[in-house]
Amino acid sequence: MDMADQYAVIGHPVAHSKSPKIHSLFAQQTQQRLEYKAVLAPMDGFSATVRDFFLFGGLGCNVTVPFKQEAWQMAQQRSTYAEQAGAVNTLMRQADGILYGHNTDGIGLIRDLQINQQYALTNQRVLILGAGGAVRGIMQPLLETNPSEVWIANRTEATAAELVGLFERQGQVRSSGFSAIQGRFDLIINGTSASLQGDMPPIPSTCLDADTVCYDMMYGQEPTIFLKWAKQQGAERCIDGLGMLVEQAAEAFLLWRGIRPETTSVLTTLRASL
């Protein structure tokens, strides 16, 4: 009996990862023979862990916090999304042995919004909270949908301004601190990790109304603090990041296996297990 193809998610911590569950559901559905496990890398041993994984026959791996920048450095070839994001969340060993790095986070977010949520981004005014790696990873795919404006607000304004410098050639991008946000937005995306600490970015309530779609890149059993706040302000559509997680995984699966799994049923199963 030949061995199933090996895939993994590598991170620290990694035990909480839903990726093994997601990819095993994808594999069942598409009848692909593969094994996908969670691998804990020591904080100072990421590259060694990755090298060993591929040395022993691994074909591809996902990379989670805090190793996405390190994975970017390791990749010998990178997709334009990975290049722009400055982070890699998907690695694949190509037939020629070259280590290829991709970033599927932004594609995952956009597919969740456009396909699962049926939300058209073209000509929309978008506010993004936060300016860290997660936000940098979604900028290019977001700008490709031609929103009318993307406003990046961050606690440290200089970090947000840096992102504007990187992406302003691709569309209308501007930045400010949280308190200087002006006007109403069609879509607000929370890309800060504040949700996990139960900490709400201090943004003016004038930036949203009942029709503003509010999206948190984080997810949990309960709505995040940002989504709770948005609901209190009267926003009718509040969406968490579980769909983004499943869609970015589907994008990695497509890269590795050449087949795109159906995500709706997987999302339903996952939602029920929260």
pLDDT for 258 beyond 60: yes
Answer whether 0.85 is exceeded by the pTM: yes
Percentage of the chain lying above the pLDDT 90 cut: 94
Q: Where along the chain do its domains lie?
A: 5-103+243-273, 106-240
For the stretch 62-121, pLDDT in tens is: 999 899 999 999 999 999 999 999 999 999 999 999 999 999 999 999 999 999 999 999
| CATH architecture designation of domain 106-240 | 3-Layer(aba) Sandwich (3.40)
Domain 5-103+243-273 CATH (choose: 3.20.20.10, 3.40.50.10860, 3.40.50.1370, 1.20.58.110): 3.40.50.10860
State the chain's mean pLDDT as an integer: 96
Alpha-carbon torsion, ordered 125, 226, 165, 146, to 10 deg: -30
Report helix, strand or coil for 167. helix
pLDDT for 220 beyond 70: yes
Catalytic residue among 21, 68, 228, 231: 68
- Give the mean model confidence (pLDDT) for residues 45-70: 96
pLDDT band at 198 (very low <50, low <70, confident <90, very high): confident
Local structure of residue 131 (DSSP, 8 states)? -
Ranges assigned E (strand) in 42-193: 60-63, 77-78, 90-93, 99-102, 125-129, 149-153, 173-176, 187-190
Identical fold at 5-103+243-273 and 106-240?
A: yes
Active site residue 68: yes
For the stretch 145-174, pLDDT in tens is: 999 999 999 999 999 999 999 999 999 999
For the stretch 199-212, pLDDT in tens is: 899 999 999 999 99
Measured CA to CA in angstroms, residue 134 lies from 53, 128, 236 at distances of 25, 11, 25
Task: Report pLDDT for 1.
Answer: 57
Percentage of the chain lying above the pLDDT 70 cut: 99
Report helix, strand or coil for 65. coil
Q: Which helix (H) or strand (E) holds 37?
A: strand 34-40
